[in-house]
Amino acid sequence: MAPVAVFVGAPGAGKTTVGSAVAEQLGVAFADSDAIIEERAGKPIPEIFFDDGEDAFRALERATIADALSGFNGILALGGGAILNDATRALLADQTVVYLSVELSDAVKRVGLGAGRPLLAVNPRATLKYLLDQRRPLYAEVATHTVVTDGREPEEIAAEVAALLKG
């Protein structure tokens, strides 16, 4: 059992919004790795970062994603930094991966000042630019399909992705 598709992209790309809409269109379940992590940890991600540190969060993230990739058959959205891990990228090689691409200006509009996003707590715009620059090649590396989201409504993006996945 494997996901129908795995969504990757930067904060603000629309992984959760578009992913859940695509799942609904395809009649499959939707899961967000960050939500699964929070459920397993019993606390929100910002608290995991604060209480336990980023390394503990990333370890929990790796284990959660590995479990989901082998036991979930819907649409799975990954946290923006999940692809930083070599083992996670290797697991994604056998998956249908949808990379939702977003440029800085749209990402900033969508995430605002980063409330609830630990890595965006200080200077969100500069941090988001750094994250985009650092991660963009990794998203592209794992992508089966790349879909540009800038200036588009979630429904339009979801329709495009659903058509790609049915294709």
What pLDDT is recorded for position 115? Answer: 54
Could you read off the pLDDT tens digit of each residue along the chain, which spans 167 residues? 789 999 999 888 999 999 999 999 999 999 999 999 999 999 999 899 889 998 999 999 999 999 999 999 999 999 999 999 999 999 999 999 999 999 877 877 766 655 555 555 566 678 778 888 999 999 999 999 999 999 999 999 999 999 999 97
Phi and psi at residue 79, to the nearest 5° = -60, 155
Q: Which residues contact 133 (CB under 8 A, 6 or more apart)?
A: none
Q: In the chain, what percentage of residues exceed pLDDT 90?
A: 74
Residue 123's region, left for phi above 0, alpha for psi from -120 to 50, else beta, is left
Pairing relationship of beta strands 30-32 and 97-101 according to DSSP bridges: unpaired
Nearest of 29, 159, 142 to residue 89 by alpha carbon: 142
Q: Which long-range contacts (CB under 8 A, 24 or more apart) does 54-61 make?
A: 54/118, 58/84, 58/85, 61/33, 61/37, 61/85, 61/88
Does 166 map to a domain? no
Does 164 map to a domain? no
- Tokens 């988001």 label which residue? 128
Can you tell me whether residue 91 is helix, strand or coil? helix
Does 27 map to a domain? yes
- Rounded to two decimals, what is the model's pTM? 0.90
H/E stretch holding 146: strand 145-148
Q: How many structural domains are present in the chain? A: 1
In this structure, what token pair is assigned to residue 85?
A: 């891990």
- Over residues 96-140, the pLDDT tens digits come to 999 999 987 787 776 665 555 555 556 667 877 888 899 999 999
Does 165 map to a domain? no
CA distance 167 to 157: 15
CATH code where residue 71 lies: 3.40.50.300
Domain limits for position 27: 5-158
